[in-house]
A and B are shown apart, each in its own frame.
Chain A
């Protein structure tokens, strides 16, 4: 066996995966960069330079879209971290129905997003919905959760948190369980209380889990589409439009080149926000 083959044969094993990755990811990605510069009808294209990008940035609802995307990502991300952490701590403590509760918390993650969206939009009906009926029972007149433009986006964000917090909790549970017992023993010797345990051990040492939750839910929030579409379709008017729903509407209208340009912009937007965030978070990670 020659030297070259010895050095390189192992790459052969990568080939199948590489081909699949190439065909279903790299090629379409490169093609999308190209088609974003064309007027495209799927069967026919015409090169029009950067005009799609110009049109995309002139989109009436785009400012709302960017704003909503950021708000949605931040709100869901923060809430998932906070509730995920609290639930994680709670579900790793000494309680009896721990396993049952863990399943219960994780359960919403398993339900189809569309089903969740439809169910909640029924429950959020202003007069016939379960939520406002329950509020009415205790004498509170609930708002029109999805119709009032000032809270519609937050209502959807709330549902997204309800659905996604289970996954965050599982990550936190894993992170908390991986903290070695020595730290807790040291805490006992030093006479620390539960607050110290939470603040000085659990939070810094579950940092890797927290970083994963932050990154995953932030990127997920930036790209959020299915839940918003199932609940409000970006409405009323354009009040809950996010970048992804704007792109989808362009795609449905047959503006294939334009929506491809939108996807390239979304890709860059997510990368520009998520990449520095990840770098920052990684630097702050403490090794165990």
Chain B
């Protein structure tokens, strides 16, 4: 309802005047009052219905080739989330872009990350205030934004050929492509402190049982085996989400069946394993004492300083680690979440966010130039200068440089040996919004794996119904 209030509050002042003009006949007064009321209601509903379509006229001006005639100065705006890393990246990319296209100025605006940010983006899209270019998740979250209605279709843009093919399905809906990769790919798995591993003579686990054995030894040595940061509840999902490679290895059709309401977390043993693994970590007391009150930032500090040996996390944590613990980076390694058998060991990969263009943009051509820039070696180099990649790039022919973090180097073998699979949220449009709550419950021992998986299945069902998917 907030949107309607936003729109409607601007109207009343302009309409109040009409009453004096209409009140010449005294007996008409009551009628006029009624009419006025009806008119206002109508005006409001018409205005709120049409609020989005007022930008169509201005696109034609910029269709010509940008270099031919003396071009007008144009300002486009870019929306990213407000993390320090994105602030640095946006600055570097915008600077490089503006050097290449001096007539375009890019203004950078930020929004909060996470669910709050989702809300922010949705509100902007629905009120027609969206920035020209915006970065947002690819995969299922992107689908939830109703791209056909809100995003510019990029399917036939030549620059889409620069994007690696495995990325495209994550920004696709009904055969149309809507975004280009904003950033590098990343892995979901276990960060570990190499120094702790060295001191205790441990080796990277190939199976879950080996990981548990390592944890026991680490605990005996008085070091926290697994860092839990439940205050930021999204961090608790990792063990379940990063297990998808193993789910996929045992049930290659899980994503399809899951989307079609044929497979459930609670009734698919391979999928339930993720919840069970989390429960095991919680039950065996591997986590730090204050895990419920510990934040993500503290978790990274504990990992870098070796207070904790493992931290299940996405590799997007690398830039923050590099910024705060540059001298400790060589101590931090990474491995994929192991499965139950040594020959099915591989990495669950998160595709980069997308850069999208709002359909309501007044400067679509300039916005396209910006997206094109992101898919060039120059654009990637500018990005990389501000924030080193957290995995291989999703742009064709661009390799990671030699000076990347050890964590990224640890990821490369999985890519080279083709032992990767895109995370479930990129191949299925459904991801229940309450997963963090359920994983908190399991990891904190409030609920057991099976019950939480059942609860999560219900959460997913609700989402599928709300999205209006077939078969739910």
Minimum CB–CB distance from A233 to chain B (whole Å) comes to 7
Complex contacts, B40 vs chain A, CB 8 Å? 19, 22-23
| Segment of A77-85, A167-175, A249-257 engaged in the interface with chain B | A249-257
In the complex, B101 has a CB within 8 A of chain A: no
Is A27 within 8 A of B290, CB to CB?
no
Interface of B is mostly: helix
Q: Which of A55, A59, A234, A235 contacts B465 (CB 8 A)?
A: A55
Interface residues on B, range: 35 or more
In Å, the complex CA distance between A16 and B455 comes to 50
In the complex, B129 has a CB within 8 A of chain A: no
Residue among B36, B292, B458 with max Cβ neighbours from chain A (10 Å): B292
Complex contacts, A126 vs chain B, CB 8 Å? 289-290, 292-293
Is A254 within 8 A of B458, CB to CB?
no
Is A31 within 8 A of B434, CB to CB?
no
In the complex, B307 has a CB within 8 A of chain A: no
Q: Give a binary string over B1-14; 1 marks a CB under 8 Å from any A CB, 0 the rest.
A: 10111001101100
In the complex, A185 has a CB within 8 A of chain B: no
Is A235 within 8 A of B27, CB to CB?
no
In Å, the complex CA distance between A144 and B446 comes to 15
Is B293 within 8 A of A147, CB to CB?
yes
Q: Give a binary string over A1-30; 1 marks a CB under 8 Å from any B CB, 0 the rest.
A: 010110010011001100110111001100
In the complex, B394 has a CB within 8 A of chain A: no
Complex contacts, A288 vs chain B, CB 8 Å? none
In the complex, B440 has a CB within 8 A of chain A: yes
In Å, the complex CA distance between A27 and B41 comes to 8
Is A2 within 8 A of B149, CB to CB?
no
Q: Which of A15, A24, A149, A253 contacts B433 (CB 8 A)?
A: A253
Q: Which of B9, B289, B446, B463 contacts A239 (CB 8 A)?
A: B446
Complex contacts, B8 vs chain A, CB 8 Å? 23-24, 27-28
In the complex, B146 has a CB within 8 A of chain A: yes
In the complex, A287 has a CB within 8 A of chain B: no
- A residues within 8 Å of B by Cβ? 2, 4-5, 8, 11-12, 15-16, 19-20, 22-24, 27-28, 31-32, 39, 41-44, 46, 51, 55, 58-61, 124-129, 144, 146-147, 149, 233-239, 249, 251-255, 257-258, 260, 263
- The 12 sampled A-B contact pairs (Cβ below 8 Å) are A16-B16, A19-B37, A22-B40, A27-B4, A27-B8, A28-B1, A44-B146, A60-B459, A125-B290, A147-B230, A237-B444, A252-B119
Q: A27-B41, A55-B465 are in contact. List 14 more A-B contacts (CB 8 A).
A: A8-B29, A19-B12, A22-B40, A23-B11, A24-B5, A24-B8, A32-B1, A60-B434, A60-B455, A125-B293, A127-B293, A146-B293, A236-B446, A251-B119
- B residues within 8 Å of A by Cβ? 1, 3-5, 8-9, 11-12, 15-16, 19, 23, 26-27, 29-30, 33, 36-37, 40-41, 44, 52, 115-116, 118-119, 122, 126, 144, 146, 149, 230, 233, 289-290, 292-293, 433-434, 437-438, 440-441, 444, 446-447, 455, 458-459, 462-463, 465-466, 468
